[in-house]
Amino acid sequence: MFENLSERLSGVFDRLTKQGALSEDDVATALREVRVALLEADVSLPVARDFVKAVQDKATGQAVTKSVTPGQQVVKIVHDALIDVLRGEGDPGHLKIDNPPAPILMVGLQGSGKTTTTAKLAKRMKDREGKRVLMASLDTNRPAAMEQLAILGAQIGVDTLPIVKGEDPVAIAKRAKTQASLGGYDVYMLDTAGRLHIDQELIAQAAAVRDVANPRETLLVVDGLTGQDAVNVATEFDDKIGVTGVVLTRMDGDGRGGAALSMRAVTGKPIRFVGLGEKMDAIETFEPERIAGRILG
C-alpha cells in the first residue's frame, strides 16, 4: 500500500546510512527528499512540512551528526515521527458497543466500500467478540444496495433487518432499534445511503438518522485510493455530521498512501480500520507501528 513511498524513502535512507559521518547539510538534503517523497505520496502540504520540521528539530537536538551511527539515528527519528503523525487517542480497534443494543452509524460516499465494510465489521464483532449483530440498509434510493447487504449478511451469518418497501431511512432506523431491542442484539449497524458527491440531501438524511439513532460510533468509510480527496471528504462529513473515526478502504491497492498519513493530522479523527480487499475478512485495525514499519520497509 505504500510501495512507492517506501521505495523512495529507502533510497534516501540507504544513502544516509552508508555514509559514516553526516553533516547537518547531509541531513537537511535527506529531509528535503523525504518531503518530496511525502508530497508525491499525496500527503497534504502542511502535514509534510510539519513532519519534516519535527524530524529536523529532533535530529538537530539529539546531535545526530556527532553520533557513531548517524544514518540509523535519523531513520529512527523518522520512524517515531511517523507513528506520532498516525496515532490517534485510544485503541483504534475498540468500538464502543457496551450497553446493548449499541447503534453504529456507517456513512460515506457511494462506492467507498461502505456496505462491504459494514458487513466486515459485523463479522468481526461476531467472530471475535461473540456479539449478536443486526445490520440494516437505509439506502432507499438503491434497492440493489439493500439487497447487497442482505446477501452479505446471509454469507457471513449476520442478520439483516427485513426490507419493507416504501419506508424512509428514519423509519428504518427506528425499526432497526426496536428490532435490536426486542431481538436481544448487542449491536445494530445502520448502513446509510451514499452518493457520488457530498450534497445537501445526503447530509440532511444522515443527520436525521443520527438524531433518531444517537449512535455510539459514527464511522466514515472513505476510499484510500483517493488521497487528499479522502481527507477532504472526511473533513466535510465530520463538520456536518460528526464522526468518531474513519475506515480507509482499498489499502490493498496501489494507492500512494497519503490519505493514511494526513487523515488524523488534518481532520483530528483517527483511522480505526483499513480495508485490504473484497473478502469479508479483509479488514485490519489501523496500527501506527505496523504502518510505519511498512513505510520504512
Can you name the residues that pair with 137 across neighbouring β-strands? 191
- Dihedral (CA of 126, 189, 93, 256) sign: positive
Where in 184-223 is the site for ligand GDP (CB under 6 A)? 194
Taking only Cα atoms into account, the Rg of the chain, rounded to an integer number of angstroms, comes to 22
The yes or no reply on residue 91 touching ligand GDP (CB under 6 A) is no
φ, ψ for residue 207, nearest 5 deg: -70, -40
User: C-alpha grid cell for residue 274?
Assistant: 483499513
Where in 264-293 is the site for ligand GDP (CB under 6 A)? 275-278, 282
Nearer to ligand GDP (CB atom), residue 103 or residue 108: 108
For residue 66, give the DSSP letter.
G
Where in 121-160 is the site for ligand GDP (CB under 6 A)? none
As a whole number of angstroms, the longest Cα–Cα distance in the chain is: 72
> Going by DSSP bridges, is the β-strand pair 217-223/187-191 parallel, antiparallel, or unpaired?
unpaired
Stretch that binds ligand GDP, among 21-29, 61-69, 103-111, 156-164 (CB under 6 A): 103-111
The yes or no reply on residue 169 touching ligand GDP (CB under 6 A) is no
Q: Least distance (Å) from ligand GDP to the CB of residue 244?
A: 18
Binding mask 106-125 for ligand GDP (x = CB under 6 A): --x-xxxxxxx---------
Q: 134: how many CB neighbours lie within 10 A of its CB?
A: 24
Nearer to ligand GDP (CB atom), residue 201 or residue 278: 278
Number of H helices, E strands in the chain: 11, 8
Binding site for ligand GDP (CB under 6 A): 108, 110-116, 194, 249-250, 252-253, 275-278, 282
Residues in the annotated binding site for GTP = 108-115, 191-195, 249-252
